[in-house]
């Protein structure tokens, strides 16, 4: 039985596309039932529609608190029977109430080897720091900034004199391989959040 999955995006959603393609495999234990965005003009929404996927735009209303917005998002997910949520370039901080409600069923990908370089522009942070090794991380989401329990990571070595553009491109290729692998393991319950840690069966 495939687990109903929603993907939240704010932009073009390249990781969303990688997840959707992986879920099309008959043996994959998750099925994308919804692609949702906080931005009506997110390019990834049109791509999702072209694949025949259900889409949803939830924009924040004037004066609406983060908690109230996230409560609307939660209701939309619950109404559609969603079991797992993947963040794929979703540029909104989620409230503690939301992350608590979806604890162990909410995952994210980040373009660094966490806990190094959390937050925005992680690739640029790593490039400026001159690190020789960086990578990407998939983690369970908690109320902190890119601080949730790590599910898995992939690393790459920076080449001498490598540009930020080259690094970002190579990292994206890694992300597109790692994220579907981690969703597969979470959907199959081969990795679970137990006592604040990602535990592999």
Cα 5 from Cα 183, distance rounded (Å): 10
Residues paired with 115 in a beta bridge? none
Question: For 43-81, how does the pLDDT look when each residue is reduced to its tens digit (9 = 90+)?
Answer: 999 999 999 999 999 998 889 999 999 999 999 999 999
Q: Which of 110, 127, 139, 176 is catalytic?
A: 110
| Mean pLDDT for the stretch of residues 172-191 | 98
pLDDT higher than threshold 90 for residue 201: no
CA distance 56 to 111: 26
- What integer is the mean pLDDT of 93-119? 97
Which residue has better confidence, 62 or 29? 29
How far from chain centre, in Å, is Cα 175? Answer: 10
pTM of the model: 0.96
Q: Is 127 a catalytic residue?
A: no
Q: Which residues contact 75 (CB under 8 A, 6 or more apart)?
A: none
> Do the Cβ atoms of 57 and 45 come closer than 8 Å?
yes
Could you give all domains of the chain from N- to C-terminal order, each with its CATH number?
3-196 (3.40.50.170)
Determine the pLDDT at residue 153. 98
């Amino acid at each position: 039985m495939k687990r109903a999955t929603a993907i939240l995006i704010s932009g073009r959603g390249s990781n969303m596309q990688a997840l959707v393609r992986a879920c099309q495999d008959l043996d994959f234990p998750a099925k994308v039932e919804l692609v949702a965005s906080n931005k009506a003009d997110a390019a990834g929404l049109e791509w999702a529609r072209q694949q025949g996927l259900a889409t949803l735009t939830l924009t924040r209303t004037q004066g609406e608190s983060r908690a109230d917005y996230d409560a609307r998002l939660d209701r939309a997910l619950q109404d559609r029977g969603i079991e797992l949520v993947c963040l794929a370039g979703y540029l909104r901080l989620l409230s503690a109430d939301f992350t608590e409600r979806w604890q162990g069923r909410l995952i994210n990908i980040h373009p660094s080897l966490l806990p190094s370089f959390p937050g925005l522009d992680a690739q640029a942070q790593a490039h400026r720091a001159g690190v020789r090794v960086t990578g990407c991380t998939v983690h369970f989401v908690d109320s902190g900034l890119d601080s949730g329990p790590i599910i898995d990571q992939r690393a790459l070595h920076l080449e001498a004199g490598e540009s930020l553009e080259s690094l970002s491109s190579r990292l994206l290729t890694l992300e597109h391989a790692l994220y579907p692998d981690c969703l597969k393991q979470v959907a199959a319950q081969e990795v679970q959040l137990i006592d604040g840690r990602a535990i592999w069966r």
